[in-house]
Chains A and B, each alone.
Chain A
Amino acid sequence: MSSVIYERLRRNPKFDELVQKRGSFARTLAAIVLIIFYGFFMLIAFNPKMLGQPIAEGSMWAIGYTAEMVMFVFFWLLTLLYVRRANGEFDDLTAEIIKEAQKETK
């Protein structure tokens, strides 16, 4: 079937470059989200009192609430970062790989 062309895509050194670059970028971002998220849940589980404390003496803003608001914004910014790089740099590289594989056919 199309196994031949998949084989050809696979052999292109740019394929390894794509997989390596995009993979490690995605894994890094995912690790950041997971560590912050589960770290936060561990705090909720083991030190809920601390999260209820105000961020500063006399402030109404609790540490947990403030930190979570920041997390909402930060996580979204990470998605923005990924989409920009994946839709630009990585997709250009993908297009090159496919083009080169198809050229070989002729």
Chain B
Amino acid sequence: MIKRLTTALALLAFSGMAAAAGPALQGDIQIQPTNWHAIIMFMIFVTMTMGITYWAAGRTKSTADFYTAGGGITGFQNGLAIAGDYMSAATLLGLTAMTFSRGYDAYIYMMAFFAGWPIILFLMAERLRNLGRFTFSDITSYRLDPSVRTMAALSSLVVVVFYLIAQMVGAGQLIKLLFGLEYNVAIFAVGILMMVYVTVGGMVATTWVQIIKACLLLFGGTLTLILGFSQFGFSLTTLLEKATAVHKLGASLMAPGSLLSDPVTALSLGLGLMFGTAGLPHILMRFFTVGNAKEARKSVLYASGFVGFFFNVIFLLGLVAILLVGQNPEYFEGGDIKGALIGGGNMVAMHLAHAVGGNMLLGFLAAVAFATILAVVSGLALAGASAIAHDIYARVIRKGECTDKEEIKVSRMATIFLGIVAIILGIAFEKMNIAFMVGLAFGVAAAANFPVLILSMYWKGLTTRGALWGGYSGVTSAVLFVVFSKSVWVDVLHNAAPLFPYTQPALFAMPIAFLCAYVFSVTDSSARATREREAFEDQYVRAQTGFGASGASH
């Protein structure tokens, strides 16, 4: 029933999008006569992924299928899918743009994004897999009261929503440039396609969308780099020499710049990105899609390999773009290379693709970027839906007394709800820099999810009271620091000066969360706390050996 309904919805959305694209395209066709490449390639991607979604729908029967693809994904596939989840539109568009305008600072950002992976592997991957089932809240509430689950689910939702905003804004800007569509129409298209993938195909479809997209992204990015880099004889020295010569930063292009000018911001950013990765619900969820700890470890190995490789590609793309896009009046409003880029600052990668590979490559890379956004928002929506349906509805409200059918139904409704929220917020935050927004999402993940998760796995003394205080103080302080910082308080709410002087919350919010969790745990002398401390033993043995962990269902 639901399946048929959502398939109908898919067709409706699809034809509606094509119809909406029609007239806008005719209007724009003199300026961008080659948009058809992108549109055709994107349509191929959508058709293909819709086919996969249809196939996946037949394989999605239980909640395990819906949330974790039945645990039947291999380490290599999952590694690609994690890389697909992690290399978002903000990575491709935002970080290329940041390299283009700020040079080396972007590379520092990339290292901070990357360095979380080894830490996740060494300290978390196998315990996550051995203890969790569908969501990371399964782990935090393993031996604690269900109220801890509610808290973890709520903080997951905060992270998901922050991250969704960044993705939606990227989508709107990209499609505006590419299809000549209104920003708002583009946001609706992404939101609706995402709802179809997730509601119909669950984790199986979402995983395969991620895998396909990760391959396309790696291929498209590398190809663009090879074409661009060849113009400099593949010599990094030549490239650096020329880029430094023309860039407005001059010799300091390759030195740390204004972005991390003070120690507090640098440290806070490092903490936020590193431990934020370890607190992203849609990334943590991917650890439950593999059969055992062995495959979970392999997932990280492959994922970090792909991510590390791609970051280096992106940095070089940004440097190449300084010369091939930054020096070409064709890509600037009114042909003035000191003015604004056509389509906004985040379009550097797209212009570069056009510069080195013509309309064909622009079309391909644009289609890939659109696919990227779709894949990432799908992963996010699924993580958000599992927090609502599995944690809050099935476990807390129904106390585990609900059938698979009911839970999946609620998941689907939650996905549609999240889609609508994403559309509304995407429109509200149109003017923000998307890489920066992702940085904020990470800060909240680092302060809200990571402290409670790591303590619940490592510290015997953690009690329900401590976990609740730690979690809620983490979410609240991270959100407040962000709201009172310049990026929201001044730029969005138009106040004169920020109440909180730094842009990165992690350095302040993380210690608050850890401290609250510690103080309220050790002072907890209730009978429940004693039981919870005793229950750590069994959890510890299971975490170490994987004995009793939920295995692959097929």
Contact = CB atoms under 8 A, between A and B. Distances in A.
Interface in A29-46: 29-30, 33-34, 37-38, 40-42, 44-46
Nearest to A18: B544
Given A33-B115, A61-B236, A86-B297, A45 B254 contact: no
Nearest to A10: B541
A93 B266 CA distance: 42
Contacts of B118: 29-30, 33, 75-76, 78-79, 82
B254 A37 contact: no
A94 B111 contact: no
B121 A79 contact: yes
B255 A19 contact: no
Contacts of A3: 538
B297 A9 contact: no
A59 B304 CA distance: 30
Given A44-B260, A45-B267, A60 B237 contact: yes
Interface in A3-30: 3, 5-6, 9-10, 15, 18-19, 22, 26-27, 29-30
A90 B308 CA distance: 27
Nearest to A80: B301
A65 B254 contact: yes
B111 A61 contact: no
Contact of B111 (A68, A76, A86): A68
A20 B516 CA distance: 29
Nearest to A38: B270
Interface residues of B, number: 53
B24 interface: no
A33 to B, nearest CB: 5
Contacts of A75: 114-115, 117-118, 304, 308
Interface stretch (B154-162, B326-334, B365-373, B545-553): B545-553
Interface string B221-260: 0000000000000001100110010000001101111001
Contact of A82 (B240, B241, B267, B297): B297
B111 A72 contact: yes
Contacts, number: 149
Given A9-B547, A51-B255, A76 B297 contact: no
Contacts of B126: 86
- A interface, size bucket: 35 or more
B541 A60 contact: no
B123 interface: yes
Contacts of A33: 115, 118-119, 122
A22 B122 CA distance: 9
Contacts of B244: 60
Interface string B87-130: 00000000000000000100110011011011101110010000
Interface centre among A18, A37, A49 (most CB of B within 10 A): A37
Nearest to A1: B538
A25 to B, nearest CB: 8
Given A86-B297, A98-B547, A61 B107 contact: no
A41 B298 contact: no
Nearest to A49: B255
A105 B112 CA distance: 49
Interface in B292-315: 293-294, 297-298, 300-301, 304-305, 308, 311-312
A6 B123 contact: no
Contacts of B261: 48
B368 to A, nearest CB: 23
Nearest to A3: B538
A94 B112 CA distance: 33
Interface string B325-360: 000000000000000000000000000000000000
Contacts of B546: 94
Contacts of A37: 111, 115, 270, 274
A69 B312 CA distance: 8
A51 B260 CA distance: 13
Contacts of A68: 107-108, 111
Contacts of A73: 308
B542 interface: yes
Nearest to A27: B122
B28 interface: no
B164 to A, nearest CB: 28
A45 B257 CA distance: 10
Contacts of B308: 72-73, 75-76
A8 to B, nearest CB: 9
Contacts of A59: 237
Given A18-B544, A61-B240, A87 B297 contact: yes
Interface in B417-433: none
7 contacts: A9-B545, A18-B545, A45-B266, A65-B107, A68-B107, A68-B108, A82-B121
Given A60-B237, A73-B308, 8 more contacts: A15-B541, A19-B544, A45-B263, A68-B107, A79-B118, A83-B300, A86-B297, A91-B294
